[in-house]
Structure 1
């Protein structure tokens, strides 16, 4: 799995689950680099506006274990 291949999906999840514009912009900026994935996922979980779908949850878990 290459980060470039999954980055756009992570961006879409951030856009979908984070209502606060300031937090969303910070997460999108941090998500530009693979080094920040773990922190982005922690923040995404903390500030999300609803529970993840099963598919999104599995995707985030995969990212965490692969890149975190």
Structure 2
């Protein structure tokens, strides 16, 4: 049983920032608040470099 995707929220200047990070590997994270959103952005960028679905096998072997 899969859960439906979360709706993307629009950011308003006075609203609390939110962000979602998802990947085909099953990673599905959500953050709310300035510091948590910044941390999630960094975590998402790092995940893209290590996720087997985004990193070609040759690059993983070279590392």
Shorter-normalised TM range: 0.3 to 0.5
RCO greater where, 1 or 2, for CA within 8 Å and sep 6 or more? Answer: 1
Bigger share in helix: 1
Task: Indicate the structure (1 or 2) with the bigger Cα radius of gyration.
Answer: 2
Bigger share in strand: 2
Normalising to structure 1: TM-score of the pair?
0.35
